[in-house]
Structure 1
Amino acid sequence: MSITARLEQAAREQLARQAETAGLSEPQFTVSVATPRAAPPCAKPVNIEAVDTRTPARMRFAVLCSDAGGWKYEYVLRGSVSALVAVTAVPVAAGQALTVQDVTLERRDVTTIADAIGSAEAATGQATRRSLRAGEVLRQAQLSAPLLVKRGEAVIMLARFEALEISTAGEALDAGAINALVRVRNLANGRVVRMRVIAPGTVEPADIPRSAQP
């Protein structure tokens, strides 16, 4: 196999690992050596090492010869990545929680998008940080967990101990998504305590370990 072919194979394997880590669906790659050069002979099989693969459009790989008079050449490779990713099916307002009707999968070029979402399920239920047009690729940076408790709204303060469950009315002094810690005023005695958000309009004492919950 030629050095060019081995470089392209190494680059594809690297892109495939990155796509798997990112959770991309059905990724496809194109790769080419942007700086072809003839390498001197090497009595031993050359080694290929990744130098910088952070940007698929400009990756750097080194070819090393371990002969007594060995050499090392660097090559620039240009890659592109496409995959099935979550895309807005309709315009979405800022702060809106995405539903199954709002999200579809389409094949898009994601070479320059590091945080594309590889499934509709992963985007559904999350809230948008800004308004989005129909057909936009959904990115993790654009989404956040939806607020389950809003500042100033009435909440249920729920405490459980073994089979005993006690609920008290409270007022949220902070907004929070699932598992967020918020301040809540107990309406029965006026005390302000820190609580953990566990469901829409429902909080529990913050000092209860998550592993102890049913």
Structure 2
Amino acid sequence: MIVFSLLCQRLIAAEMTLPTQLIGVAHAFLEERVQEYLVTSNTEGRHEIQINDLDPRLRLPLCDKELTAAQQGVGSPVGRLTVRVRCEGSAPWTVFVPAEVHLYRNVVVTTRPLLRNATVDYSNVALVERDVGRLTQGYLSDLDLVVGQTLKRQVIADQILAPSFLQAAEVVRKGDQVVISAGAGRFDVRMQGEALSSGAMGEQIRVKNLSSQRVVKARVTAPGLVEVVL
């Protein structure tokens, strides 16, 4: 009787698509998608694919065609997502397989608490591996792009620095004496001026020419130096 029961179970399984097959198809699809994403986005990092076990009571007819898979929705294949596994055979069916792809990269984090308006330097940040699929506010992976900027908000130690936390440091402050460079072609005229607003590198600020008392807009090119294009 026991042998007969086991035989029946095997016959039923041979005519069904097992949950383990669905997981295998989803995993293979995600592995290919992640590898493609890393190459096309020029992204470095290690990844892990996690697919939870499906309901063992799931009963689907054996598909007479090769199963197909696609990512549900749009976006990168990182984080929580759903894989649509489909049979397009004579008895079609579709199953949605939940999964999570962990992508681990080195990201910039603080090494100690920092106050608002603090300047970031190499002594207070470091690169630490984190799962970037969970970083909904974004992240930065290059220390050189962070150092020299100032914080818009107070942060704690081991805080992942999102781009929205930072702003370019002001190299010219309102009231500073500056040199105004006005050029056209190979000619360059310089004069003394006063900054009427603060600015970071590349920003435009209002500057007063101390000789003519004329107020102009100039681009910050270095600490104490602004440029007016004629």
TM-score, normalised relative to structure 1 = 0.79
User: 1:89 is aligned with what amino acid?
Assistant: T
| Equivalent pair of 1:25/1:118 in contact (CA under 8 Å) | no
Q: Please, which of 18, 31, 42 is the counterpart of residue 63 of structure 2?
A: 42
CA distance in 2: counterparts of 1:23 and 1:52, whole angstroms: 23
Q: Provide structure 1 residue ranges, at least 5 long, that are not aligned to the other structure.
A: 209-214
1:163 aligns with 2:186: yes
Change over 3 Å in CA distance of 1:47–1:119 after alignment to 2:
same
User: How many residues were matched structurally?
Assistant: 207
CA distance in 1: counterparts of 2:25 and 2:48, whole angstroms: 15
SS at match of 1:97: coil
Alpha-carbon shift at residue 40 of structure 1 (Å):
3.5
Which residue is 1:4 aligned to?
23
Change over 3 Å in CA distance of 1:105–1:75 after alignment to 2:
same
Change over 3 Å in CA distance of 1:184–1:63 after alignment to 2:
same
Q: Please, which of 183, 195, 214 is the counterpart of residue 218 of structure 2?
A: 195
SS at match of 2:23: helix
Larger radius of gyration: 2
Change over 3 Å in CA distance of 1:116–1:24 after alignment to 2:
farther
User: 2:111 is aligned with what amino acid?
Assistant: A
Q: Please, which of 85, 89, 96 is the counterpart of residue 118 of structure 2?
A: 96
More helix as a share of residues: 2
CA distance in 1: counterparts of 2:110 and 2:156, whole angstroms: 7
Change over 3 Å in CA distance of 1:119–1:191 after alignment to 2:
same
| Equivalent pair of 2:30/2:49 in contact (CA under 8 Å) | no
1:58 aligns with 2:80: yes
Alpha-carbon shift at residue 64 of structure 1 (Å):
2.5
Alpha-carbon shift at residue 14 of structure 1 (Å):
4.7
| Equivalent pair of 1:25/1:119 in contact (CA under 8 Å) | no
Q: Please, which of 171, 175, 182 is the counterpart of residue 148 of structure 1?
A: 171
| Equivalent pair of 1:23/1:118 in contact (CA under 8 Å) | no
Alpha-carbon shift at residue 161 of structure 1 (Å):
2.9
* Correspondence 1:127-138 to 2 at 5 A: 127-138=150-161
CA distance in 1: counterparts of 2:38 and 2:49, whole angstroms: 13
CA distance in 1: counterparts of 2:176 and 2:139, whole angstroms: 34
Which residue is 1:212 aligned to?
none
Alpha-carbon shift at residue 4 of structure 1 (Å):
0.9
Change over 3 Å in CA distance of 1:168–1:6 after alignment to 2:
farther
TM-score, normalised relative to structure 2 = 0.74
SS at match of 2:115: coil
User: 2:70 is aligned with what amino acid?
Assistant: E
SS at match of 1:111: helix
Encode CA deviations 1:115-163: one digit per residue, 9 max, x unaligned. Answer: 1212322322222112222221221111122112222322221123333
Alpha-carbon shift at residue 20 of structure 1 (Å):
7.2
Encode CA deviations 1:17-41: one digit per residue, 9 max, x unaligned. Answer: 6677887653433422465555443
CA distance in 2: counterparts of 1:174 and 1:68, whole angstroms: 72
| Equivalent pair of 1:12/1:31 in contact (CA under 8 Å) | no
CA distance in 1: counterparts of 2:118 and 2:40, whole angstroms: 28
Which residue is 2:15 aligned to?
none
